[in-house]
Amino acid sequence: MKTEKEKMLAGEVFNVYDPELVRERQYARKLVERFNALGEVNPQASTEIIRQLFGHVGQNCEVHPQFKCDYGYNIYVDDDFFANYDCVMLDVSPIRIGKHCLLGPRVQLYTVNHPLDPQLRRNGAFGQSKDITLGDDVWVGGGAVICPGVTLGNNVIVGAGSVVTKSFDDNVIIAGNPARVIKENPYKE
């Protein structure tokens, strides 16, 4: 029989109030509170907290406060990552971010969702999740929301304020609610 954490990581319906998951969220929140309390006065200490919190951090990682996440260990960022102010990453499932990625202010990445069944949804005790993957050279404009299960290819630009509900291939500029391709990205490597 699977634990609630195993169900969570498998994208199955799980109990969000499972004691193990509650402890892990509390641990992450303590690190996040320490990180946010530092502000920008000690970048080296801030980066060290992010390295303790995230599942993987490449070279040159910069995250501005106020940052929020659920677990932290499900966040994997590669080299040259930048997250501007007020970023939220609900990392119930893994969030994988490639090299040279930029997140504008107030970008939100949500891997978690609630079940469609209203009986399971009524007390908020159950969740379900899907991974988010951003390829290399992705730039997500300020205030954009990336929904559960989205994969963005390499060299994708997401317009500010967009709501991304589905996946997109490489070299496109997307915008809107829901986001759609507005043009090909002319700068391809």
Confidence grade of residue 122 (pLDDT, cut at 50, 70, 90): confident
**Domain residue spans in the chain?**
4-184
Q: If we measure between CA atoms, which residue out of 95, 135, 96, 97 comes closest to residue 112?
A: 95
Tell me which fold the domain 4-184 belongs to. Answer: UDP N-Acetylglucosamine Acyltransferase; domain 1 (2.160.10)
Report how far residue 155's alpha carbon sits from residue 136's, in angstroms, rounded to the nearest whole number: 6
pLDDT at residue 189 above 90? no
pTM check: above 0.85: yes
Confidence grade of residue 81 (pLDDT, cut at 50, 70, 90): very high
Catalytic residue among 56, 64, 100, 114: 114
Catalytic (active site) residue 114: yes
> Considering the chain, what is the average pLDDT of its residues?
95
CB 84 within 8 A of CB 98: no
pLDDT at residue 116 above 90? no
CB burial class (10 A; 0-12, 13-18, 19+) of residue 10?
Answer: exposed
pLDDT mean over 31-51:
94
